[in-house]
């Protein structure tokens, strides 16, 4: 168990609060992933004294890395897009914004042994793993999502699979979305309905071309 920010505390005589050395009220934050650490940061800004309680030896949760033969490797793949405004804002806020290095990067889609570039509207038009009608449907679907459903608050609680099937049709779903969902969330991804909204900014390259990526 790691404990971050723990300092000798003074118990409030009424037993309702604990204060740190400087009198700030202490707050326990359970979990030292990005959500817990960001919460601790905002609590500190507001004059509280957060104590982060992390179950493992390493802070960072799903965003951690590990060492392999002297090389630091992401535990999962991770990218930051320039559309991730909140994350970039948080990094600037804690003074590490200048450590982001923006690189143009590319995505590809491996289908039946052929690697198709998958970065721009032109790539989508050339995407031989789908017929022309389905390529157009994919493009219009992505345009609809990135232009009209940007925030998509009404999609909270909508099962991702149902929604994507409706929007893109069964062939596109089977070729593109189903493998993506399985590789990201595992075969029981159907339970992960809450993630629909999170992919929306990540569809942007198909519609508007590649953007900056920090890796």
Nearest approach in angstroms of CB 6 to ligand FAD is 13
CB 119 within 8 A of CB 209: yes
Tell me if 188 contacts ligand FAD by CB under 6 A.
no
Is residue 31 near ligand FAD by the rule CB under 6 A? Answer: yes
Residue 20 is a binding residue for ligand FAD (CB under 6 A): no
Tell the burial category of 15 from Cβ atoms under 10 Å away from its Cβ (0-12, 13-18, 19+): exposed
Best CA proximity match to 151, nearest among 198, 205, 206: 198
Q: What is the CA radius of gyration of the chain?
A: 22
Q: Does residue number 85 form part of the binding site for ligand FAD (CB under 6 A)? A: no
| CB closer to ligand FAD, 135 vs 177 | 177
Minimum CB distance to ligand FAD smaller for 170 or for 186? 186
Residue 212 binding ligand FAD, by CB under 6 A:
no
Task: Please report whether residue 5 would count as binding ligand FAD according to CB under 6 A.
Answer: no
* Minimum separation from the CB atom of position 130 to ligand FAD (A): 25
CB of residue 58 to ligand FAD, shortest distance in Å: 7
DSSP assignment letter at 79: -
CA distance 173 to 134: 10
Stretch that binds ligand FAD, among 57-65, 125-133, 136-144, 203-211 (CB under 6 A): 57-65
In this structure, which long-range contacts are made by residues 164-168, counting pairs with CB atoms below 8 Å and at least 24 apart in sequence? 167/141, 168/137, 168/138, 168/141
| Contacts with ligand FAD, residue ranges (CB under 6 A) | 30-36, 53-56, 61-63, 76-79, 184
């Amino acid at each position: 168990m790691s404990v971050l920010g723990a300092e000798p505390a003074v118990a409030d005589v009424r037993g309702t609060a604990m204060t740190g050395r400087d009198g700030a009220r202490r707050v326990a934050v359970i979990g030292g992933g990005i959500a817990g650490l960001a919460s601790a940061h905002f609590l500190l800004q507001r004059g509280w004294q957060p104590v982060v309680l992390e179950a493992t030896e390493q802070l960072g949760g799903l965003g951690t890395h590990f060492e392999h033969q002297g090389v630091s490797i992401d535990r999962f793949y991770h990218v930051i897009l320039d559309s991730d405004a909140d994350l970039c804002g948080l990094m600037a806020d804690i003074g590490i914004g200048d450590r982001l290095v923006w690189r143009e990067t590319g995505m590809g889609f491996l289908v039946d042994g052929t690697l198709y570039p998958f970065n721009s509207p032109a790539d989508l038009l050339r995407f031989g793993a789908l017929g022309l009608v389905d390529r157009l449907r994919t493009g219009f679907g992505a345009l609809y999502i990135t232009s009209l459903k940007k925030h998509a608050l009404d999609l909270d609680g909508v099962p991702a699979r149902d929604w994507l099937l409706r929007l893109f049709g069964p062939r596109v779903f089977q070729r593109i979305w189903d493998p993506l969902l399985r590789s990201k969330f595992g075969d029981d991804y159907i339970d992960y309905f809450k993630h629909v909204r999170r992919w929306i900014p990540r569809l942007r390259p198909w519609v508007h071309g590649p953007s900056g990526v920090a890796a």
